[in-house]
Structure 1
Amino acid sequence: MRRKCRCPYCGLALAPLLLLLAACSFLPRSGGYFEDDGPSAPIADAARIPDAVPKHESRSRYGNNPYTVNGARYHPVADARGYRERGVASWYGKKFHGRRTSNGETYDMYAMTAAHTTLPLPSYVRVRNLKNGRSVVVRVNDRGPFLHSRLIDLSYAAAAKLGIADEGTGLVEVETVAPGEPLTAKTDTVEIIAPAAAAEANGGPRLYLQVGAFTRWDNAIALRDRLEREAFRPIFVQSTLVETETRVYRVRIGPVASVEEGDRLTERLAQQGVANAVFVVE
């Protein structure tokens, strides 16, 4: 049985309800792991779960317009061809199983699906676990995650197949997949993180917290020095020339040993007035 939606809009008349359907599905998820959010018994052989198969689909009627959650404004893109990004993946399970997704479908924690804040609904992405080299193809049909600087929220099945269901999070690379493209990832292009802490990895991806980005060097240095005095170390300024030929100075902390350590640093940063720290995987 589908759970009753607890959105405050659900007491409205039918016409306004249809107009606000997307708002009803943008219920903030933590983007983190809940010990009681998985099934009563784990999937026996997650590796045998078939990936989603990309196909040509029309954009969903719901979930593709700009929206606001927790005071942040999101602008879904119309075309995600060529999209590739690294970050932290999380998963969501039975607490949302059977609820409406942002595009009006029903969330199934055993299907190969995912939530993303701005990719088109629906679209297909390949998600690679940078720690063990596993990859999955999922269909994006929901919005989120909205907290803790997570990049993508996977279904329980996708997380289990990637090997991150027990830990709750994982370092991943996400890239769009078009119909007709090979579904098997090229393993020789996947960078593997050794079991040791990310800070000790040699040449592999590393996890950082980006706490600010400026076009003025002195502003970046001021933030770096202020946070260093509060014992946020190691902290540095990275200078990058972006596509518009503008130089951007990014203030970053790390490498960070784990996602959990990054979450703790994020809480400390918020106490210092830095509320928009984001994870960066390089």
Structure 2
Amino acid sequence: MTARLLKGACIVALLPLMAACATGARSGGGPRLPVVTDPAPIVSGTMRPYQIRGRWYRPAEQPDYDETGTASWYGDQFNGRPTATGERFDMYALTAAHKTLPLPGLVEVTNLSNGRSLVVRINDRGPFVDGRIIDLSRGAADQLGLLQQGVGEVRVRYLGPAPRLGSAQPVRYAAAVAPAPAAPRPEPAPEVGAYWIQAGSFSDRRAARQVAGRLGERATVDVTGQGDTPRYRVLVGPWSDPDAAEHARQAVVARGYADALLISGR
């Protein structure tokens, strides 16, 4: 998006992957949100005032940013182009553009029409349309239920700096606040030939179920071990493509499960 509008934005080298998050409770209860313990530095060039179509925008630190307005989304036209942070725009990743918040950062976006919430990585500038406060990637819009109508009323809350990026495996997904889990279902073992993310291994079945519930519908509990020492693994998946599985693993890490592993059902 900003490859056309902000050609002079500072492009920085991607840093080694050191994303490690803990979880913190949302005020007033509800889903738990990520707290970044190893934040990426703000891209200094993106904090300079800039002008688009005769209008000036002045980026600034806004720790208390909490705004309601219209969200839009962008996709194919900008897919693969550099964003304002120097990251490549992936329309299926959970990212977004904002006019003035620090980059890269994390925001919680809530679709006010259906209550769905998602934590996305802000790595671009926009949208430069009056009345719109955030421009979501196609993937983020899809998960929030905004893909078909194109725009919708949302609440955007700034959470703070985003985690660092890795040069070989960029963090393509931010943390998604999953909806409440569906009714209990069977807990299958990993499928042969599939890739799974192991979010954790627990000695207590209830603890494993709680973690699976926080990670959403694709999370299940697999029992391993025998006798008096069973282990309960929380598995997320499956994915048939190892790259997609790795991107999903990084999303689980961003949710606060820093020891998440990519495993194969082979």
TM-score of the superposed pair, with normalisation by structure 2? 0.49
| Larger helix percent | 1
Normalized per residue, which structure has more strand? 2
Larger RCO: 1 or 2 (CA < 8 Å, sep 6+): 2
**TM-score normalised by L of structure 1:** 0.46
